[in-house]
Structure 1
Amino acid sequence: MNIYDKAHDLAKALKESEEVTEISSAMSIIETDPEGKKMLEDFRERQMELQQRMMSGDMPSPEEMEKMEKTFDVLTLNLNIRRLFEAERRLSVIIEDVNKIISDSLQHVYGPTM
């Protein structure tokens, strides 16, 4: 068994999954909505900035977090953006599950995972 072949099979299965198809479809629709697209881009940019700050140990203030939550709530009023977020969430769960399966398979070598 070639591990790389299996990894490519997994990548193909992910690419062809319902979740990725749904993400692509939602993104295509969002592309036709300049206002929604701009709001989503601004949100993603701010989200990435906050994540980078948190990774460097600079925790955002409660006010900043509240503002992000409110922005998220406003964005999800757009049905296509909500559809995108839901498909991304489902794909994230799949990736976490696959990662756990892989980690668990090495438990006999490295010990229990946390």
Structure 2
Amino acid sequence: MSANVYDQANALESALRESDEFNNMKELYGKVNSNPESKAMFDEFRQVQMELQQKQMQGEEILEEDVQKAQSSAAEIENDENIKALMEAEQNMSQLIQDLNRVIMKPIEELYGINNQN
């Protein structure tokens, strides 16, 4: 009897939604959005990130002014406690997802002998 991987993936999604990491991130995102100054800074930061990502994906040159804009935006958000807390929560969530990815990839790594080759 084979396990229905998609059912288990959906269960994992539900577990992630109920996790402390996600709920903390959700609460902190709400704080950022409820503070007009934090929201404006965060929106600008995300816009700058998306523009840089789009340029990279399209093979466009990233200009010095693009880099300076990104650095300036990043420096601004570091001074906002709401955004700073949200970014830390995002890092915790990212770590959880990386840990889960290692677990998910374990059968393939074992199959190919990855990490066992010396």
TM-score exceeds 0.5: yes
The Cα offsets for residues 45-78 of structure 1, whole Å up to 9 and x where unpaired, read as 1101111211222242344224312311211211
Identity of matched residues, %: 35
2:36 corresponds to which of 12, 31, 34: 34
Q: CA deviation at 1:111?
A: 6.2
CA RMSD after TM alignment: 2.1
In structure 2, relative to structure 1, the CA distance for the partners of 1:107 and 1:59 (3 Å cut) is farther
Between 101-110 and 46-55, the greater mean CA deviation after superposition: 101-110
Displacement after TM superposition at 1:17 (Å): 1.3
Question: Where do 1:6-21 residues align within 5 Å?
Answer: 6-21=8-23
Paired with 2:60 and 2:30, the residues of 1 have a C-alpha distance of 35
Q: Which range is displaced more, 79-88 or 57-66?
A: 57-66
The alignment of Structure 1 onto Structure 2 pairs a total of residues equal to: 113
Question: Aligned partner of 1:98: which letter?
Answer: L
Q: TM-score, normalised by structure 1?
A: 0.82
Q: CA deviation at 1:100?
A: 2.8
Matches within 5 A, 1:1-114: 1-109=3-111, 112=114
How far has the Cα of 1:108 moved from its partner? Answer: 4.7
Cα distance in 2 between the residues matched to 1:101 and 1:6:
13
TM-score (normalizing by structure 2): 0.80
Listed as ranges, the gaps of 5+ residues in structure 1 are none
Shift of 1:94: 1.7
Name the larger-Rg structure. Answer: 2
CA distance in 2, matches of 1:93, 1:106: 21
Aligned AA for 1:89? Q
- Check 1:59–1:19 CA distance in 2 against 1; reply closer, same or farther (3 A cut): farther
* C-alpha spacing 1:52/1:16, structure 2 compared with 1 (3 Å): same
